[in-house]
């Protein structure tokens, strides 16, 4: 089982119910930012070739494909991939989407293929070993064109708080996060929830490991692999997305 397999079909609704207008704002700000980055990528004002890592149900992949960009969504959870497929089925933009059901560290990406790579909404924390993180960053660097951009968010300590509970008329959701003994930055994530849609109540459980990478670990690894932190834009990203509990960083391939 991959993370979120058990609730992929209600993933969007659960997030919308859990975070309400903040989730709406995050989706709209993220899409706006990605559009701007496409214009700064090697494609310039044309359509961009985008790698969306851990694409989930297509929160960023779908709107970018709708805008005419070519998006490859790499997502290990088959049920999450099915959600992307379902949203695109029979639509004009379906041809702009390629869906790869794989972990990013195993993905055999073409060299110099993408103008923009995205790793958004805490995806980096699902990569839990140094070896897998290194393979991930190497893959991103190899597959970006020269001048291509890499946008990621790094979850900060507040997103690993032990108990989180969300309750609306439709949703009852409890998240428990426990630090693993002997492993300072490794956490066991577990959630139990039920969501009501019409007359139907859906219950699910989910559990997996997460790692809290420090900003420095990620920045150093990126810079050692030819991905240069864009300090001028990172200050702006901190101001715009600081409220999310994750630090957003932009890198450009040399």
Ligand X SMILES: C[S@@+](CC[C@H](N)C(=O)[O-])C[C@H]1O[C@@H](n2cnc3c(N)ncnc32)[C@H](O)[C@@H]1O
Residues binding ligand X (CB under 6 A): 2-4, 53-56, 59-60, 74-77, 80, 103-105, 120-123, 126-127
User: Who contacts 59 (Cβ-Cβ below 8 Å, separation ≥6)?
Assistant: 12, 27, 30, 120, 121
CB of 105 within 8 A of CB of 126? no
Distance, in Å, from the CA atom of 192 to the CA atom of 58, rounded to the nearest integer, reads 23
Q: How far is the CB of 69 from ligand X (least distance, A)?
A: 16
DSSP letters, 79-110, are HHHHHHHHHHTTSGGGGGEEEE-S-GGG--PP
Looking at the Cβ atoms of 103 and 253, the one nearer to ligand X is 103
**Could you tell me the smallest distance in angstroms from the CB atom of residue 126 to ligand X?**
3
Residue 207 in tokens: 């559990």
Q: Taking CB positions, which residue lies at the least distance from ligand X?
A: 56
Question: By the 8 A CB rule, do 214 and 28 touch?
Answer: no
Rounded Cα–Cα distance for residues 167 and 171 (Å) = 5
Structure tokens that stand for 186 in this block: 């490794």
């Amino acid at each position: 089982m991959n993370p979120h397999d058990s609730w992929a079909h209600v993933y969007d609704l659960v997030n919308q119910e859990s975070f309400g207008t903040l989730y709406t704002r995050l989706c709209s700000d993220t899409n706006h930012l990605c559009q701007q980055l496409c214009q700064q990528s090697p494609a310039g004002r044309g359509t961009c070739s985008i790698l969306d890592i851990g694409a989930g149900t297509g929160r960023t992949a779908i709107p970018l494909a709708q805008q005419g960009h070519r998006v490859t969504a790499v997502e290990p959870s088959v049920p999450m991939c099915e959600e992307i497929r379902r949203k695109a089925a029979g639509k004009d933009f379906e041809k702009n989407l390629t869906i790869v059901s794989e972990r990013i560290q195993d993905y055999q990406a073409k060299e110099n293929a993408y103008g923009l790579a995205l790793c958004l909404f805490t995806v980096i924390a699902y990569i839990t070993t140094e070896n897998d993180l290194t393979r991930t960053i190497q893959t991103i660097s190899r597959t970006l064109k020269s001048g291509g951009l890499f946008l990621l968010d790094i979850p900060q300590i507040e997103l690993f708080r032990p108990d989180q509970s969300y309750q609306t008329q439709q949703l009852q959701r409890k998240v428990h996060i426990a630090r693993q003994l002997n492993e300072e930055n490794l956490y066991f994530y577990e959630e139990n929830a039920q969501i009501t849609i019409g007359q139907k109540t859906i219950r699910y459980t989910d559990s997996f490991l997460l790692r809290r990478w420090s900003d420095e670990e990620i920045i150093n690894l990126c810079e050692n692999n030819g991905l240069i932190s864009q300090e001028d834009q990172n200050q702006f990203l901190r101001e715009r997305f600081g409220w999310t509990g994750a630090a957003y960083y932009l890198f450009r391939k040399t």
